[in-house]
Amino acid sequence: MKNIIFIAPPAAGKGTQSTLLKEKYCLAHISTGDLLRKASLEENERGHYIKDCLKSGKLVSDEITLDLLTERLKQEDCKNGFILDGFPRNLDQVLAYEKLLEELQIDLGYVIFLSVPKELAEKRILGRETCPDCGAVFNDQIEGSKPKVPGICDVCGTHLTKRKDDNLETFSIRYDTYMEHTKPLIDHFEKLGVLYTVPSIDRDETFKMIEKIIKD
């Protein structure tokens, strides 16, 4: 099994596909956001710096992010393969990551771009409802994802909630900004011959296509 980088705009299903791959193939799921949040709890200079950045909304330096990633990649569970979530986000990070992989003698693996029409991504965001108790996710705008009783969790009967930032204006900005900043990454990985574009329309069909890529 090789390593996987997902490039995916908001609501493309990256989290869903990462979970499916992790569970079926025992891959390590590495979220740089999780790494930073964990490191922010450390009572040292690095931890305090990260905590201040997260609190103020500033970006943590690439150097520290790479240090955390280096430590994580050396752990035993990454030897079977891993899914990298939230990194790299720009071309400078890509080049630094490739250098890191070379030093650690780790294969780059597959870069999978989850392609989703903006209109569908918009429905996924605006219709998303989450159970605050059990974490189940529904969507009141997509057939097959709606709760049986509107606004009520099918699993535990709790009232579903919506995130405040799940609105049209915020989504449009996030989607357009992501696609603009991601274009150089897509071009770079395409030139390397490691980029695979997978339409993310149906969860199960998308997973089957990803499986075919990583098994070839």
The answer to whether residue 174 is catalytic is yes
Active-site option among 2, 89, 146, 203:
89
Give the Cα separation of 58 and 49 in Å (integer): 10
Q: Is 163 among the catalytic positions? A: yes
CB 3, CB 103: distance < 8 Å: no
- Choose, from 46, 123, 174, 203, the residue flagged as catalytic: 174
- Secondary structure in 3-state letters for the chain: CCCEEEECCCCCCHHHHHHHHHHHHCCEEEEHHHHHHHHCCCCCHHHHHHHHHHHHCCCCCHHHHHHHHHHHHCCHHHCCCEEEECCCCCHHHHHHHHHHHHHHCCCCCEEEEEECCHHHHHHHHHCEEECCCCCCEEECCCCCCCCCCCCECCCCCCECECCCCCCHHHHHHHHHHHHHHHHHHHHHHHHHCCEEEEECCCHHHHHHHHHHHHHC
37 labelled catalytic: no
203 a catalytic residue: no
- Is 128 known to be catalytic? yes
**What whole-number distance in Å separates Cα of residue 211 and Cα of residue 4?**
11
- 58, 163, 183, 208: which is the annotated catalytic residue? 163
Q: Which residues have a catalytic role annotated?
A: 14, 89, 128, 163, 174
